[in-house]
Each structure stands twice: as structure tokens, then as C-alpha cells.
Amino acid sequence: MDALKACYGDGSSDSDSESVPSSSTLAQPKVLTPLPPPPISLLEPQNFVGSLDLQIGQTTRVRSFPHVDGNYALHVYIPINISSPAKKELATFLKKVSCREPTLNVVDVDVPLNILCKNDEKLEQIALGREFHISLGRTVPIRVHQIDSVVSMLRQKLQTQNHYWIDFNKWEIFVNDEHTRTFVSLEVVQGGLVQITKQIEAVNAIYKLHNLPEFYKDPRPHISLAWAPGDISHSLKNVIDEEMKKCVVGKPLKKCIFSCKFSGIECKVGQKTYAVCKISDGK
């Protein structure tokens, strides 16, 4: 999947930056440039026995801002990796949702989810085996002369962070600003919310100093797992709620869907990733 990310550019930031309720202050581009699909060869994990007939059509992804020579996309985020036990549970739920909403695709890879659901190992590896992101700021364009200043200030403000746990407590539906995509996401509503909110405030302060648009007023930290074209938030929300009710029947109520340790903060500028802070396992 590292090869996929390297080849397909800055796609990992798209899902997080697009999947928040619309309140964008960025001007709409006059021309929306569709991004090409990734090579199908990169969807085959190494050492995987067997294959699926994965077919990728032309994606409908559009840039949040027009490409300008000398501009680089900036994205500040917390990297999130899902543990193996959690992958199995999430995969089971996604299969149920996909059966009722066949237009769902895997975030970033843009493969139809119902195709992956035919093989559990493929589903876990491709749909849930990648690195996810909790965005701490909007994905915005910056000029080359701003890069060193932004990265330096991020490290200065955020390099000292304590260890904490992030709990993903809630399945939620988000729609991008342009209402061209609907996302199936996992939201942080309790454990880790206070710490992440403070980190977002720090990033906002740095964005403001560089005349960059700040994050949404009421941020809702989350990771996005799947997307569907258009705004189908109402119907997809009903599907999620109904499937959740089925999951809890006769079972003890779980406090969260899955948890992970906060491991640090990264900043991606164009194709280059900078470590803002790193939390060791022993800290």
C-alpha cells in the first residue's frame, strides 16, 4: 500500500479533508480536474494467495482547490492504524452496509466495496490495512517559501505531547463541501477528544499566522473508511443506524468500536512527509 500511496499522490488527505460538514471558506475552482485511478497492479498485496477480478472505473474525485504551479498541498494529521482484531469486526460491519448500499467504494483506493467483500482477507488488507488520518487542519495550498516556516512552527507548538488513547466510539456519515461525496466514518466523541481539540487549536493558530483558512468551528475528529458518489447522507445514515441496532441486540453495549494509542503528528507537504512529533511506545 506504500507503493500505492507513493504512486497515487496525496489521496490519503482527500478523505479526511473532504469528509467534514460543509463550511469551507475556500473559493470553488472554475474547472474541476478529475484525478486518475491508481494502477490496478498496486491493489494486489504481496504474498497474497488468490486473486479477485477488481475493476476500477474513472473516479469522480475532484480537487478541493485548483492546481497552481508553485503551490503545495498542506495536510496536518494524526496517523491511525487499525489493529488486526478490530479489522475483522469492522470488515463484518462494512460487508453488511455494503450489501444495502452497493455504490460504496474504499477510501483512497476507489475500489467498489462490494467486490472486496467477496474475500475477507482482501477486504481487511485493502480496505482496512492502510494508514488512516485524523485531520488537524484543512488541506490547503501553500507556497514554497511558506513550507519551512509552517513546519518549524508546527514542531515548536506540538513537539511536546503526552501519551493518550484515542477511542472511536461512533459510526457517522459526513458529506464533503461540494456535496459530491458521502463518507462512512468512525468518529472520536470521548477518549482523546480533548487532546485532539487542543492540537487542532494549535494548528489553527499557525494557519492564521500564514493567512491560511482555519479548520471548522466545531471540529469532529474522525477517520473515513468508505465513500459513495453524491449526497446520500440521509439514506446511508438510516442504513448505518439500522445495522448498528442489529449489532447490539442481545449483546453487551460496547464503550467504543476500537481504540488506538496516539503515536504522533505528521505534516505532509506535496509528496514529502515531515514528523512534527513522535510518541514512543514507552512514553
Nearest-angstrom CA–CA distance, 250 and 49: 37
φ/ψ region of 233 (left if φ > 0, alpha if ψ in -120 to 50, else beta) reads alpha
Q: Would you say residue 11 has pLDDT above 90?
A: no
**12-42, pLDDT tens digit by residue?**
334 443 434 443 344 444 445 555 555 444 4
For β-strands 105-106 and 140-143, DSSP reports them as unpaired
Tell me the pLDDT tens digit for each residue of 54-72.
444 444 444 555 666 678 9
Average pLDDT, the chain: 80
Q: Give the orientation angle of helix 233-248 with respect to helix 84-100, to 10 degrees.
A: 120
Please tell me the least confidently modeled range out of 6-15, 29-38, 169-178, 243-252. Answer: 6-15
Q: Name the more confident of 263 and 6.
A: 263
Query: Which residues participate in catalysis according to the annotation?
Result: 133, 222
6 has a pLDDT exceeding 70: no
Does the structure show a pLDDT above 70 at 141? yes
Task: Give tens-digit pLDDT for 207-244.
Answer: 999 999 999 888 999 999 999 999 999 999 999 999 98
Q: Give yes or no for residue 5 having a pLDDT over 50.
A: no
Rounded CA separation 111/104 (Å): 9
Residue 164 has pLDDT above 80, yes or no: yes
- Summarised one tens digit per residue, pLDDT across range 266-279 is 999 999 999 999 98
Position 46 scores a pLDDT of 42
When pLDDT is cut at 50, 70 and 90, the band that residue 109 belongs to is confident
Q: What's the rounded Cα separation, in Å, for the pair 163 and 283?
A: 6
- Look at residue 64 in the predicted model and tell me its pLDDT: 58
